[in-house]
A and B are shown apart, each in its own frame.
Chain A
Amino acid sequence: EAGVAQSPRYKIIEKRQSVAFWCNPISGHATLYWYQQILGQGPKLLIQFQNNGVVDDSQLPKDRFSAERLKGVDSTLKIQPAKLEDSAVYLCASSLDGQGRNSPLHFGNGTRLTVT
């Protein structure tokens, strides 16, 4: 099966600019996750969708980050305006199980964001 697709692979922007990341999960996977991973740390969940509904966005900085999952398939994550501390790898993952509890997460290659 095709894996989780993410784009772009790399992005360099200046602070206060905006940026958007795109994710296409594995076909048929109900649950989609966006994670932020800062160098040397574990993944931090930003938002979790089940189909096109939000299950958990408690750690999403809503004043600058937004995400949507149109028609329960593709998803975009946007940052506006970006700050220096947003420099990280943004990982998209999907899982088959509707509640996400018993299915492994499949990750995309991530987008490495550098904010200067």
Chain B
Amino acid sequence: GQQVMQIPQYQHVQEGEDFTTYCNSSTTLSNIQWYKQRPGGHPVFLIQLVKSGEVKKQKRLTFQFGEAKKNSSLHITATQTTDVGTYFCAGYMDSNYQLIWGAGTKLIIKP
């Protein structure tokens, strides 16, 4: 079936280091959304990418959508403790109304 693969599953970083999570789809996406879920919380919408090759920034977060609209990435520069949580990508398939979720990447700050 249609899938969105997200890697890595976990990433441990020292505070101040960078963090990146990647999503890859087997089929073309009409758009892709990114969500953040804090421990014990619910997913919160961060951003949506629609255009091929689109790059958007939110302060220390940079989101990219691939030229083929099959992959996307989220990069956080100089992580802070407030960045802790699980980051999910979710893509809409071109062919139907389904929003397919990645499995998430958990960002863990090393003490």
Contacts and interface: CB of A to CB of B under 8 A. Distances in A.
Interface of A: 41-45, 48, 55-56, 91, 93, 99-102, 104-110
A99 B43 CA distance: 20
Interface string B73-101: 00000000000000010101000011101
Contacts of B97: 48, 55-56, 99-101
B88 A42 contact: yes
Contact of B45 (A41, A42, A102, A106): A106
Contact of A101 (B31, B41, B43): B31
A67 B33 CA distance: 26
A110 to B, nearest CB: 5
Contacts of B92: 101
What DSSP secondary structure best describes chain B's contact surface? strand
A106 B42 CA distance: 9
A34 B13 CA distance: 33
A104 B33 contact: yes
15 contacts: A41-B103, A41-B104, A42-B103, A43-B43, A48-B97, A93-B43, A101-B31, A102-B50, A104-B33, A105-B43, A105-B90, A105-B99, A107-B43, A107-B44, A110-B42
Nearest to B106: A40
Contacts of B30: 101
A105 B36 CA distance: 12
A101 B95 CA distance: 11
Contacts of A107: 42-44
B28 interface: no
